[in-house]
Chains A and B, each alone.
Chain A
Amino acid sequence: MIDVKNLHKSFGALQVLRGIDLHVDRGDVVSIIGPSGSGKSTLLRSINLLETATSGEIWVDSKLITRPDPSLHPGENLQEITKAHYQDPYALRRKVGMVFQHFNLFPHKTVLENMIYAPVTVLKLPREQAVEKARALLESVGMLEKIDVYPGTLSGGQTQRVAIARALAMEPDVMLFDEPTSALDPEMVKEVLDVIKRLAGSGMTMLLVTHEMGFAREVSDRICFLDEGRLIEDAPPEIFFSTPKSERARIFLDKVL
């Protein structure tokens, strides 16, 4: 489903990602954890092209979404590879949903308008159909009764649940979550995690950046530990949390557990 190959990303002189290899199968739930500034957001954002990779490749659903990296195709014709496999950002983003730490609902649109805007504008879904789908999704995240209000009137937890439903309205194949509960008051974390957990249980392919270790352990098939732009552990949660291989991960876990 997702294949990240030797991904590098620099902002000017700052090397943020230093050669990431990551493979995510359809239906996998993978949590990415690591210290602040280690490049977790950058990795996630590269996968739906909110950041452009410096080198390396990203494949989503057997389509190449970055430029081909010559070092990964010695002796091959790069143009041919592009022609055969390249997919433009718009087609990609329709398949990849993203949920942000700060929600990013459109404040000038009601909950319903937030929900149907992209399905109608991007997918060209008839309005009635989009509304119907929006209602069903809002129902499933427990937000149907707020369908006609503006986001400014919602609590953080409610806002994030709507944001998740909005991403799902595009019927993505993959969902990316970037610290979806980090901006929430503690009492609202659970309502959002419950929604994410249900989604994980439904077979959605998910990549989740989180500081909620207990939650990561519970829902993930694998934990990826990122440190200074390198993916230094990639293991099932039982193994990662009990016997981390690296000193770095041990120190990190000591701090957060």
Chain B
Amino acid sequence: MQLDFSIIFNYIPEFVSALGVTLKVTVCSLLLGLVFSVPLSLFKISGIKPLEWFAALYTSIFRGVPLMAQVFMMYFGVPLVLPVKFTAFTAGTLVFSMNSAAYISESMRGGIRAIDKGQYEASMALGVRYGAMMKDIILPQAIKSVMPSLVNEFISLLKNTTLIASIGLVDILRVGQLIQSRTYRAFEPFFAISVFYYVLVMALSFLGKLLERWVNKSDRR
């Protein structure tokens, strides 16, 4: 079989807008996930049993149920029992961010645990209240140890977002299927997509390294 990569170039506009969708879902999910993970990790270390149980249950659910099932549940299932209506984008982003929150909160918990108790004592001795102490003293330091897993999460999110093609969003993978159905060619589009994801992930890993270094600037001697 003759390979002809030039067909890819006919679909550049589709690829560009699909890249936008993929990145939008990924970035929104990561940021929302980070936001959700803060209360979740605080619940986990709260010492208040009901909060700890809630957080543990939450985490185990999102870890235990296949991601595809979660996406279908949110998009098709939930609107049937609750008075809500999601676009595919909203449903996807919600599921992915709730997932990320479960994952990130685990490493955030570890990061908070690792902080010297002297940091709490110094804050308290200065009259700082719990909320401000967490926001300004403890979490900024915990974030540092979360950084590597944040980059990992970004990357797995990027790959997992291909699942939203299944609820009709046109992401990069979906463009591949489109090309396949129109041209009856499969190798070229999916090869191009694989290269595309690979390059994106490598670029992200690199950016992650830079970010980590920037966050750790106060440790430099």
Contacts and interface: CB of A to CB of B under 8 A. Distances in A.
A118 B219 contact: no
Nearest to B215: A108
Nearest to A119: B126
Contacts of A241: none
B218 A118 contact: no
Contacts, number: 71
Contacts of A166: 126
B141 interface: yes
B102 to A, nearest CB: 26
Contacts of A89: 124
Interface in B103-158: 116, 118-119, 121-122, 124-129, 132, 136-137, 140-141, 144
Nearest to A93: B127
A236 to B, nearest CB: 29
Interface string B181-221: 00000000000000000000000000000000000011111
Interface residues of A, number: 29
Given A117-B136, A152-B220, A104 B119 contact: yes
A5 interface: no
B124 A93 contact: yes
B202 to A, nearest CB: 30
B47 to A, nearest CB: 15
The 3 closest A-B pairs by CB, nearest first: A104-B122, A118-B126, A104-B118
Contact of B218 (A117, A122, A150): A150
Interface string A164-178: 001100100000000
Interface in A104-118: 104-110, 117-118
* Interface size of B as a range: 20 to 34
A67 B148 CA distance: 46
Nearest to B219: A152
A152 B218 CA distance: 7
Contacts of A11: none
Interface stretch (A95-103, A197-205, A214-222): A95-103
A117 B132 CA distance: 10
A121 interface: yes
A125 interface: no
Contacts of A97: 125
Contact of A122 (B119, B121, B127, B140): B127
